[in-house]
Amino acid sequence: MRFLITGLNHRTAPVEIRERLAFGDQMLPDALDRLKRRPGVLEGMILSTCNRVEVMTTADDRSDVEGSLESFLAECRDVERTWVSPYLYQFDGRDAIRHLFRVAASLDSMVVGEPQILGQLKSAYALAKERGAVASFLDLMLTRAFNVAKRVRTETEIGQSAVSVSYAAVELAREIFGSLSGKRVMVIGAGKMSESALRHLRRAGVSHILVTNRTRPRAEALAAEVNGSVVDYAGFPRALPDVDIVITSSGAPDYVLTREILRPVLSARRRRPMFLIDIAVPRNVDPQVNELEGVFLYDIDDLEKVVHANVENRLQVAENAERIITEEVDRMMVRLKAREVVPTIVGLQEQFELVRQAELDRVRNKLGPLSPDQEQAIEALTRGIVNKIAHGPISELRRHAADPEGHRLAGMLRKLFRLGE
């Protein structure tokens, strides 16, 4: 059985490619069902965030799953395979385990150490399990990945030194305006990214926060948390002339801000600059908005500039975290190798027990009825002999499970004792 990861992220694909390949929440159940039906796929899950789309699978050793997974992504998102292939990476075996652990520990994120990816990974795992796409191997892998992420955060300062994407957005606004004190902000979308951004904005000293969302109760709850005000979603453009900064993180399928909407807004502002940060995927703001005078639009890829400003301070922390990842990958590989020899060990024990029972039955027929004490003595004697005979090969098998010798030894024992025949 093989463990594979196929996908793309912020380093291999620009935002317009990522948003085209992204799976909305409503698409994932059907996509998981389709993934399970792919030839050779034994287990599967899909991780889709603003910065990555990854398909994790266990597969039959004999199948060409790599090509099948590329086709799966292309078919699900209705694009040509030749169009998406150049942006994809594929990891197998140890490399796939290492990649999964790094993703869970936020070492592969745009903003190293951001905590959101772990929650997103847990949600993807829970949905895949709910759809019956996860069995024992992926269950083991994901459970271990969550523990590795916890260890990295406990033993390093990665969480303290890192920033989230939403915080990076606020830092970018601070870089443009110098100070956010007295600025008025509107957040379009009331999801987790918006919630995080609002908390940072309030700490940065903005004077007033407006929240709008397609679901008003969610907007009201979020506004209450940050002492903000709710704006009706249908009429939010009317409030824009008084807003200096707009942060969009809506799940809307189409642009919520266009040139047509912003042109009269800028006129009402008398050309005072407006700062737009689009941290949604798919994007909420039409890129052509940047052509308007007085508008400064930044999308999620632009946040890398803020991220890079903090990289030097996090390098040492990341190096410590990488050492933990390497140690955990080594440990997992040993564990997986040990799992591979378990069927041989179980087969040996069962074979020895069959021989023991057969010989006992033959001896009982000759000796006739035995007393309970005699039965107990014979049981103890024969079990002791069998355990001593089995101890040597089983100990050697366990000792060499993690190296190539273990695979050869297991094969030899299966052949010598005719296991599986």
The whole-angstrom distance between residue 259's C-alpha and the CA centroid of its chain comes to 36
Beta bridge partners of 53: 8, 48
Alpha-carbon distance of 270 to 257, in angstroms, equals 19
DSSP symbols for 52-104: EEEEEEEE-TTS-HHHHHHHHHHHHTT--HHHHGGG-EEEETHHHHHHHHHHH
The whole-angstrom distance between residue 399's C-alpha and the CA centroid of its chain comes to 33
Is residue 358 helix, strand or coil? helix
Which residues have C-beta within 8 Å of that of residue 224, sequence separation ≥ 6?
none
Alpha-carbon distance of 394 to 391, in angstroms, equals 5
Task: Work out whether strand 274-278 and strand 52-59 pair parallel, antiparallel, or are unpaired.
Answer: unpaired
∠ at Cα 50 (176, 265), nearest 5°?
45
- Are the CB atoms for 274 and 252 separated by under 8 Å? no
> Would you mind telling me the total number of residues written for the chain in this entry?
421
- Are the CB atoms for 244 and 275 separated by under 8 Å? yes
- Which position among 4, 28, 32, 50 bears the catalytic label? 50
Amino acid at site 344: T
**What is the side-by-side order of every strand in the sheet holding 2-9?**
41-48, 52-59, 2-9, 89-92
DSSP symbols for 171-229: HHHHHHHS--TT-EEEEE--SHHHHHHHHHHHHHT-SEEEEE-SSHHHHHHHHHHTT-E
Q: Is 50 a catalytic residue?
A: yes
- Are the CB atoms for 325 and 317 separated by under 8 Å? no
Catalytic residues: 50
